[in-house]
Amino acid sequence: MAQELSGSQFPTYVAIYNALLILGFLINSSVILTAYISHRVHRSPNWYFAMFMWAWWCISYLLLMFTGYQQSGSEAPVPPRALCTIQAAMIYAIPSSASFATCGILGHIAALLIEILYERPGLSQKVSRSLLCIPVIGYVTIFFTSLSVGINNSFEVERNITGAYCKIRHRLPFSISAIACFASAILNLLLASHNVIKVFTFALLWKHRAWVKRMKTGSTPIPINLFFRVVIFSVGPIAGTIFSVSSLGAKLGNGPYEKPIIVILTAALPFCEGIALGTQ
């Protein structure tokens, strides 16, 4: 393993980093639990999966803290090579997977709009199931690729500058994770744009009562406020993708992104997404 820091030079940053991730995990977990046990709350599988992925984000970044190998102001033992490699692989795999999982919510809304506007029953369920596969396939691919690189290049596996988590200085894990992140950002943007157009179309036609009567699912009108909220909160995954890629850049070495503030911003994402998605 590459040379380690003798002790964290950023105890305040590490403390904030841990606090944000723990808070993010608690919020996402509590929202999932509340929705699951409540008989009045009904959420799609895409929503549950997205919330789970943001909770898993927190676990991935806190693995060193959980195992007692995180540097936090005093000398800490060097983590086992296997542990550090596994955490690095988890961290490379989670950003794009969490973003794609959030895309599933936007995709579900987009499919629901098309289903209603163009009378295509069952479309939203088919799209929802398909969108659940993308983050899973992406996570497995990136995780095992990064794990393989870390095992074969163990000298490039080390803790980052803050000592908060492990990274791999090899370019391959960064490259595939960054490409997947950018792809998820583009998909988020396209889905958000689609929903904006459809929502405004819906708002214009809402005035026509005869059309409104046909725009009912059972006895409940279309929840237009839900569409607006989803479109607004789609900015979250896009912003999260930008910071995730920035954080990934830190794993290449002591480059311009190897800054504690980027680590803090990345740690804040699950908290922000928990608040945003939890209101849906």
Q: Which two tokens stand for residue 18?
A: 């841990």
Q: Mean pLDDT per 10-residue run, the chain (280 residues)? A: 51 88 93 84 82 92 89 67 93 87 80 73 78 91 94 88 84 85 79 67 54 47 52 56 56 53 81 75
From 195, 31, 183, select the one nearest 99 (Cα to Cα).
183
Cα–Cα distance between 178 and 189 in angstroms, integer? Answer: 16
Q: What is the pLDDT of residue 256?
A: 45
- Separation of first and last alpha carbons in the chain: 44
Residue (of 272, 261, 269, 239) closest to 14 by Cα position? 261
Please enumerate in sequence order all residues whose Cβ is within 8 A of that of 114, keeping only pairs 6 or more positions apart, or say none. 120, 123, 198
10 Å Cβ neighbour count for 151?
14
Give the dihedral sign, CA 154/55/22/95.
Answer: positive
The H-assigned helical ranges of 118-206 are 123-152, 171-205
Residue 237: predicted pLDDT: 55
Q: Which pLDDT score, from 0 to 100, does residue 197 have? A: 67
Q: What is the pLDDT of residue 239?
A: 56
Q: C-alpha angle 172/135/117, rounded to 5°?
A: 135
> How do 220-221 and 216-217 pair as beta strands?
antiparallel
d(CA 265, CA 252): 18
Which DSSP category does 78 fall into? P
